[in-house]
Each structure stands twice: as C-alpha cells, then as structure tokens.
C-alpha cells in the first residue's frame, strides 16, 4: 500500500497521508525539471534522432527505461502503471507479495495517455523556460520522474475509491449498478479536502522552491517553480484526473 509502509493499514486517513507525501515528490520533481530549458527537440515527432526508432526521443528514452524497470518488477506493484504498456518485458525478479486490496476489475485502469498529454502539451510550457541546452537524456529522465510521480498520485484514486466503497457500500451500490457516473462523482467529491490540497501544494512550492541564502537578504519572490502553476496543476488536472480514476474504478467495482 502506501509507499514504504507494510500494507497493514488501509484507511482513508492513511491513503490521504500518502497523497500528502506524494505532493512533496511532485513539487521536487517539477523543480528538477525546471533546471533545464524546454529542449523541444526531445519531443519532436519528425526528427528521428535515434537510428532504427521512429518517434520522438522522449518516447525512446521512456520506453527503454520502462523496459528495464519492468524487468526489475516495477509494474508488479499495483500502484504503478507504465506509459508504454505494450510489449513490456516481464519481471525477472522474485515477486514481492504486495497486498492485493483492489478489486480485479479496476486494477487494470490506466489513464497515462491523458497524463502524458497534459504534462507535455499543457503543463511543461507553464514552468520551463524556452531554449535548448542539449541535455536531452537528463531532461527526459527528469520528465519521466515527473510523469511517474503524477501517474502514481492520480492512479492512487483506485485505492481512494476502494476505501470509500468499503466505508459506505450502501451509498455506492445503487449508482454503481445504475452506472451513474455523475452520481458517483458527487458521492466521492469532498470539496473541503480539495481546497486544502490546493492551498497546501501552493505553500509547498513556496517553501521548497525559494532560494536559500546564508545571509538574510534572500530573494523571497523568486521560486524555482511558480507556486500558482502548482496550484493550477492540482486544480485543473491532478484532482479531476484522480476523480476520473475513482469513478472508473467504482463503475467496475461490482463486476
Ligand atoms: C482523493 C480524494 O477524493 C477526491 C479527490 C481529491 C484529490 O484528488 O485530492 C480530494 C477530495 C475528493 O474530492 C479524497 O477524498 O481524499
């Protein structure tokens, strides 16, 4: 379950604690990516930089990295979802006995295409400067860290949905049977928590991203990633996509 935990505790509170910890990872990943300029050659569909590979260099780097990580068992973990699930090699290492709390129908939900699209086309231009410094491999590694952190957070919606269902099966069963996605969305939404999440991630971007100086005249107005972009990331994409995963999971919960 929650990263680094034994898996024995499965409550809405423990799930939310993990989501809060994942915010730190996401903010730090974005700050690392912001060290590099856009490096748009990396994403160019028609450059064919790698002989024998057709597609953007970022696809090549992500596919190769995911293949290595798949062999080392990364995607055996129900919290992990690959960006290129087709033709991934199987795990070569002995299986770790992950606690299986998810319903089988929902376990296969993977909305990484939407996450990839959002990250590359909408989010990146909001927090990296224009330019090309040639550091394509490092930039792509940094992109992948961001994408994996976002993907893990968003697909955590499966665990959120499972615990919400277990806590109130009588509320969830009728709209699940009726396949009423709007009603499920209403039921699972907690606006008070969402407001807190957005406020907190903006604050984290301010605290983690300020320049730290040995003297007292630090420039407190300069942040490594604009805190309002982090708040917007959660408001426009992370929270709605997490809720989309929750609804998709619940719709299949009684299959
Ligand atoms: C994840 C949850 O479900 C919903 C999604 C939220 C989010 O993505 O941060 C927050 C509150 C809920 O509207 C939750 O209740 O914690």
CB atoms within 10 A of CB 146: 22
Q: Which of 56, 53, 90, 51 is nearest to 74 (CA)?
A: 90
CA distance 105 to 255: 7
18 CB within 6 A, ligand 1:
no
Report the pLDDT value the prediction gives residue 221, as an integer from 0 to 100: 75
47 lines ligand 1 (CB under 6 A): no
ipTM of this complex prediction, to 2 decimal places: 0.99
Kindly report the protein residue whose alpha carbon is nearest to atom 16 of ligand 1: 16
Tell me the backbone φ, ψ of residue 223, rounded to 5 degrees: -120, 150
CA–CA separation, 9 and 2 (whole Å): 9
Residue 225 CA to ligand 1 center (angstroms) comes to: 24
Residue 210: DSSP 8-state: B
239 lines ligand 1 (CB under 6 A): yes
pLDDT along the chain (255 residues), means of 10: 56 97 98 98 93 95 98 96 96 94 91 98 98 98 98 98 98 98 98 98 97 73 94 98 98 96
Q: Is the CB of 189 under 6 A from ligand 1?
A: yes
Regarding the beta carbon of 163 and ligand 1, being less than 6 Å apart is answered: no
> What Å distances lie between residue 162 and 81, 113, 178, CA to CA?
17, 23, 18
Distance CA 214, CA 93 (A): 47
Distance 172 CA to ligand 1 centre (A): 16
Two tokens, residue 15 = 């799930």
Note the pLDDT of residue 2: 47
The whole-number pLDDT of residue 1 equals: 55
Q: What are phi and psi of 167, to 5 degrees?
A: -75, -25
Per-domain boundaries in the chain: 12-251
Atom of ligand 1 nearest to the CA of 16: 16
Please work out whether the CB of residue 194 comes within 6 Å of at least one atom of ligand 1: yes
Give pLDDT, residue 217: 64
The CATH architecture of the domain made up of 12-251 is: Orthogonal Bundle (1.10)
- Cα of 195 to ligand 1 centre, how many Å? 10
Which atom number of ligand 1 is nearest to the Cα of residue 12? 16
Cα–ligand 1 centroid distance for 188 (angstroms):
8
Q: 223 - beta bridge partners?
A: 210
What's the pLDDT score for residue 219? 58
């Amino acid at each position: 379950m929650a990263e680094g935990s034994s898996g024995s505790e499965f409550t809405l509170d423990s799930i939310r604690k993990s989501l809060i910890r994942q915010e730190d990872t996401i903010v730090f990943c974005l700050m690392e990516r912001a060290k590099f300029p856009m490096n748009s050659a990396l994403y160019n569909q028609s450059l064919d930089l790698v002989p024998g590979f057709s597609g953007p260099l970022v696809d090549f780097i992500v596919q190769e990295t995911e293949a290595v990580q798949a062999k080392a068992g990364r995607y055996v973990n129900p919290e992990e979802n690959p960006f290129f699930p087709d033709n991934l090699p199987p795990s070569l290492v002995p299986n770790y006995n992950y606690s299986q709390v998810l319903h089988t129908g929902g376990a296969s939900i993977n909305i990484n295409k939407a996450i990839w699209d959002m990250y590359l086309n909408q989010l990146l231009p909001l927090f990296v400067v224009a330019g090309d410094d040639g550091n394509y491999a490092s930039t792509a590694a940094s992109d992948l860290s961001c994408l994996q952190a976002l993907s893990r957070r968003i697909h955590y919606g499966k665990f959120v949905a499972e615990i919400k269902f277990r806590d109130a099966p009588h509320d969830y069963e009728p709209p699940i049977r009726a396949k009423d996605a709007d009603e499920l969305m209403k039921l699972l939404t907690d606006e008070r928590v969402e407001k807190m999440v957005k406020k907190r991630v903006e604050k984290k971007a301010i605290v983690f991203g300020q320049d730290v100086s040995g003297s007292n005249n630090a420039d407190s107005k300069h942040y490594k990633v604009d805190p309002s972009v982090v708040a917007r990331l959660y408001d426009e994409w992370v929270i709605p996509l997490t809720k989309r995963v929750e609804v998709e999971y619940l719709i299949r919960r009684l299959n």
